[in-house]
Amino acid sequence: MIKQMNLFDFIEPPVQPGEWLQESQLGEEMTFDEIAQSVGKVIAIDKSTQSHAWYKAVLVEKILERDEYDGIYRRLIYYDGAKQRGYISEMYFQVEGSRSYQRAWRIR
């Protein structure tokens, strides 16, 4: 049986939270301020190990802000398909080169 193709056969479905991504699917790297402006959108975060690069799609659910004695403390709360929500403090996006340095990208 031959199936007739239509325009929608060429459109890739949107990336869903929890999907593992290829490096070719990553767009521009994001700062934490850009992530904070992306509430409700799906972005990619780095889940790489020392031996393999891994990228996971996550839904930015909210940014928690708390006043502290030395400024505002912010934390990304995200959904990646699991029951528990994930969270990453802003400070991990700022300490480049550290073992726990965190990165995020837009998805193409």
d(CA 41, CA 82): 17
Q: Could you please report the per-residue DSSP string of 50-77?
A: SS---EEEEEEEEEEEEEETTEEEEEEE
pLDDT at 86 over 90: yes
pTM for the model: 0.83
43, burial (CB in 10 Å: exposed 0-12, middle 13-18, buried 19+)? buried
| Structure token digits, residue 37 | 């402006």
Task: Note the pLDDT of residue 98.
Answer: 67
Evaluate if residue 47 carries a pLDDT over 90: yes
Tell me the C-alpha to C-alpha distance, in Å, between residue 106 and each of 11, 52, 56, 68, 98: 18, 20, 11, 30, 22
